[in-house]
């Protein structure tokens, strides 16, 4: 993944170096030639990255070279952003153009010293980059020129998303509904496991059953909870409690939560779906199962899982083992995604190849759907044959794993889409998310750049997002305007993100030095996570950290002092985390999400955020006014305020 992220960074750095604003800064500071040399070296390195990607698989030295290059390119990007942010801040303070502002600055200080300092920084990083670039000769990389696209926006006007009709699961649906309608006198609550390989559609099948009118009318309460990999008893109980509209459970102790759960389930005929269950700890499940068994007579629980052991531990009824789709149904799925409705009749030769492709999919609808999206608009017979004959099928047949199939589709993406997709690994697994929040994330981290000043970055980001939906890497969720990812697609995102992204959980012992983006699992809400405070790698030692998310950590009142060293942060999300103060070094932020118990935002902190594009404030019940310093945030494009009932004063 390193070389793909590097390629994207190289592209974005070249765009920044070519911007008129940075060229003006270079002219004013007398560093134009140094910036040109830097750009030339970046361009040279960029042209060999695609070949380096292939060589690193079998050549450890190439892999190490890419890691060294990765660190330096981050330094280059940080330096370019530092210049741009500093210039913008001075422009705001002086209320003039960039050139007038810089000249004004020279008259108030030692111009030679200032110019020398700026030039020295550029020269130092360029010399380091040149040293690494020289090593390219030892590897004899093949230069592969990739023309930088004038416009990265994906064209979508000719595509409409396939219908949401589910193929090949009607018989399975009816069989499970019959199990739900059948009652026995042996136990009040029956637990029916649905077991099957990843990607077979266990969740989709459970949703079909859950939404059926017969099921909804059969039970007094219907509940849906996604459990996922990390089984945390408190977290699961909270999800069940919140699913019935009880939002006051965040501060309850575990005993109080258990009591509330018994009240919800007790003496009611309930239908509960526990989706995507992994935990095989017998003791944990017995404790949880005891809580569930208080439901009224005729209550039913469906557990979807890939694990036969989970089914054995949890089930009171025999497991429903989900089989793969037939070849005909698999072909229907592939064709639905590969062609507009009716167009497959014009390409019978491709349909015949598709028939051979789906035989290798093992009846897994996710594999057929993803390959169909990959083949969309491709009418070249040779392209379809390459997919049919690709070596990844040997891996699938050996390991019964569709991850290589998803990787095949990922490999066909444009480099800028790969970068955006990889950072979806920071989303909580099985969680839902908003399109706009993801676009803000990409914008803040510099993944969306354009040489066209008349084109809105938000529009480009939306085209990226919609392309990932078209490719079946993002799915539309049940709720309007919300989206989700299949857990196997999330696994792929984590795989390709490698050491760039990290979600900290209760089991995390340390933070790798090369990590660039850190998020926190939502279950960490009682205290500040210890990995941030301990060696070998505390958070403050990661000088390149770009993203920090600590959403819903109610126990954190202040950030560790080491956060003062994180001068390159671009995206910080502290919503639901009520800090009393923020580091003054958060100056390069493009996105800030926060909650506060203060009556006004801190003026000295907000006034320095001149590069901020998105500010989201929520659940700040004492906030009455925003600081006048917000007038200095000249690049602010989005201000979103939610659950701030006392906020009546906005800066003019």
Tally of CB atoms within 10 A around 463: 17
- Determine what percent of the chain is predicted with pLDDT higher than 70: 81
pLDDT higher than threshold 80 for residue 12: no
For residues 373 and 340, the answer to whether their CB atoms sit within 8 Å is no
- Name the pLDDT band for 271 (thresholds 50, 70, 90): very high
Nearest CA-CA partner of 324 in 172, 192, 179, 174: 172
Per-residue pLDDT tens digits for 599-620: 888 887 888 888 888 999 988 8
CA dist 279 and 231 (Å) reads 6
pLDDT higher than threshold 80 for residue 315: yes
| Residues ≥6 apart with Cβ < 8 Å to 370 | 405, 406, 409, 471, 472, 473
CA dist 143 and 52 (Å) reads 10
CA dist 84 and 82 (Å) reads 6
- Determine what percent of the chain is predicted with pLDDT higher than 90: 20
- Name the pLDDT band for 553 (thresholds 50, 70, 90): low
pTM passes above 0.85: no
CA dist 481 and 331 (Å) reads 30
CA dist 423 and 515 (Å) reads 12
Backbone angles phi, psi at 562, to 5 degrees: -60, -20
CA dist 128 and 75 (Å) reads 10
Per-residue pLDDT tens digits for 331-350: 999 999 999 888 898 999 99
pLDDT higher than threshold 50 for residue 157: no
Instruction: Give me the mean pLDDT over the 155-183 stretch.
Output: 76
Instruction: Give me the mean pLDDT over the 375-399 stretch.
Output: 82
Residue 113 is predicted with a pLDDT of: 53
CA dist 461 and 448 (Å) reads 7
- Name the pLDDT band for 171 (thresholds 50, 70, 90): very high
For residues 17 and 126, the answer to whether their CB atoms sit within 8 Å is no
- Name the pLDDT band for 97 (thresholds 50, 70, 90): very low
Residue 374 is predicted with a pLDDT of: 92
**C-alpha angle 558-559-561 in degrees, rounded to nearest 5:** 115
Nearest CA-CA partner of 114 in 226, 14, 25: 25
Phi-psi region of 400 (alpha: psi -120 to 50; beta: other; left: phi over 0): left
* Maximum average pLDDT range among 66-80, 166-180, 306-320, 548-562: 166-180
Between residues 464 and 297, which one has the greater pLDDT? 464
- Name the pLDDT band for 477 (thresholds 50, 70, 90): confident
User: 274 has which bridge partners?
Assistant: 225, 303
Residue 351 is predicted with a pLDDT of: 94
Between residues 566 and 151, which one has the greater pLDDT? 566
CA dist 492 and 494 (Å) reads 5
pLDDT higher than threshold 50 for residue 404: yes
Q: Tell the burial category of 245 from Cβ atoms under 10 Å away from its Cβ (0-12, 13-18, 19+).
A: exposed
Residue 87 is predicted with a pLDDT of: 64
pLDDT higher than threshold 60 for residue 180: yes
- Name the pLDDT band for 185 (thresholds 50, 70, 90): low
CA dist 648 and 652 (Å) reads 12
**Chain-wide mean pLDDT for the chain?**
80
Per-residue pLDDT tens digits for 488-539: 899 899 888 877 888 887 777 777 777 888 887 766 555 545 545 443 345 5
Kind of pairing, strands 482-484 and 475-476? antiparallel
- Distance in angstroms between the alpha carbons of the first and the last residue of the chain: 46
Residue 652 is predicted with a pLDDT of: 57
For residues 403 and 395, the answer to whether their CB atoms sit within 8 Å is no
Residue 206 is predicted with a pLDDT of: 94
Backbone angles phi, psi at 199, to 5 degrees: 90, -5
CA dist 384 and 376 (Å) reads 10
* Maximum average pLDDT range among 20-29, 222-231, 308-317: 308-317
pLDDT higher than threshold 90 for residue 483: yes
Peptide bond between residue 536 and the one before it cis (omega within 30 degrees of 0)? yes
pLDDT higher than threshold 60 for residue 476: yes
Instruction: Give me the mean pLDDT over the 348-370 stretch.
Output: 92
| Residues ≥6 apart with Cβ < 8 Å to 304 | 193, 194, 202, 203, 205, 206, 273, 274, 275, 276, 277
CA dist 365 and 325 (Å) reads 7
């Amino acid at each position: 993944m390193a070389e793909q992220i590097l390629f994207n960074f190289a592209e974005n750095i070249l765009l920044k170096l070519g911007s008129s604003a940075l060229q003006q800064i270079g002219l004013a500071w007398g560093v134009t030639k140094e910036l040109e040399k830097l750009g030339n070296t970046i361009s040279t390195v960029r042209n060999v990255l695609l070949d380096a990607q292939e060589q690193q698989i079998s050549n450890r030295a190439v892999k190490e070279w890419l890691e060294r290059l990765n660190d330096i390119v981050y330094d280059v990007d940080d330096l370019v952003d530092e210049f741009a942010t500093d210039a913008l801040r001075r422009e705001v303070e002086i209320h003039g153009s960039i050139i007038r502002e810089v000249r004004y600055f020279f008259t108030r200080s030692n111009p030679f010293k200032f110019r020398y300092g700026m030039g020295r920084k550029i020269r130092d990083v360029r010399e380091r980059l040149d040293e690494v670039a020289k090593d390219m000769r030892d590897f004899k990389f093949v230069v592969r020129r990739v023309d930088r696209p004038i416009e990265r926006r994906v064209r979508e006007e000719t595509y409409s998303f396939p219908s949401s009709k589910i193929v090949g699961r009607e018989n399975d649906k009816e069989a499970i509904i019959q199990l739900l309608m059948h009652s026995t006198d042996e136990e009040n609550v029956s637990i029916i496991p649905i077991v099957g390989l990843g990607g077979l559609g266990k969740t989709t099948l459970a949703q079909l059953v859950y939404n059926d009118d017969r099921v909804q009318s059969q039970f007094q309460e219907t509940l849906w909870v996604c459990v996922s990999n990390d089984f945390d008893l408190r977290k699961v109980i909270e999800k069940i409690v919140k699913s019935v509209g009880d939002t006051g459970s965040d501060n309850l102790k575990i005993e109080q939560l258990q009591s509330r759960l018994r009240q919800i389930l007790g003496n009611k005929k309930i239908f509960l779906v526990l989706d995507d269950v992994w935990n095989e700890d017998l003791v944990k499940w017995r404790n949880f199962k005891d809580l569930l068994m208080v439901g009224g007579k005729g209550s039913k629980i469906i557990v979807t899982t890939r694990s036969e052991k989970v089914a054995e531990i949890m089930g009171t009824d025999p497991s429903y083992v989900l089989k793969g789709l037939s070849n005909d149904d698999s072909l229907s799925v592939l064709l639905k995604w590969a062609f507009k409705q009716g167009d497959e009749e014009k390409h019978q030769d491709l349909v015949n190849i598709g028939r051979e492709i789906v035989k290798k999919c093992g009846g897994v609808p996710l594999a057929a759907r993803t390959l169909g999206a990959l083949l969309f608009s491709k009418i070249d017979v040779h392209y379809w044959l390459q997919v049919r004959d690709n070596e990844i099928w040997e891996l699938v047949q050996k390991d019964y794993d569709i991850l290589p199939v998803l990787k095949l589709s990922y490999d066909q993406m444009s480099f800028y889409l790969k970068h955006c997709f990889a950072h979806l690994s920071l989303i909580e697994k099985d969680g839902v998310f908003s399109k706009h929040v993801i676009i803000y994330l990409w914008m803040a981290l510099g993944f969306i750049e354009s040489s066209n000043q008349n084109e809105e970055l938000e529009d480009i980001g939306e085209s990226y997002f919609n392309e990932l939906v078209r490719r079946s890497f993002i799915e539309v969720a049940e709720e309007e305007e919300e989206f989700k990812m299949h857990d196997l697609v999330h696994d792929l995102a984590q795989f390709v993100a490698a050491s760039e992204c990290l979600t900290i959980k209760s089991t995390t012992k340390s933070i790798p030095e090369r990590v660039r983006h850190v998020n926190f699992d939502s279950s960490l809400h009682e205290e500040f996570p210890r990995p941030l405070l301990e060696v070998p790698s505390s958070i403050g030692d990661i000088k390149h950290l770009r993203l920090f998310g600590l959403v819903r950590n109610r126990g954190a009142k202040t950030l560790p002092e080491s956060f003062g060293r994180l001068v390159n942060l671009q995206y910080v999300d502290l919503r639901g985390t009520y800090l009393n103060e923020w580091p003054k070094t958060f100056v390069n932020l493009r996105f800030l999400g926060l909650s506060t118990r203060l009556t006004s935002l801190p003026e000295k902190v907000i006034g320095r955020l001149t590069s901020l594009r998105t500010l989201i404030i929520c659940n700040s019940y004492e906030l009455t006014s925003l600081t006048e310093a917000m007038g200095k945030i000249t690049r602010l494009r989005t201000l979103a305020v939610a659950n701030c009932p006392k906020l009546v004063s906005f800066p003019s």
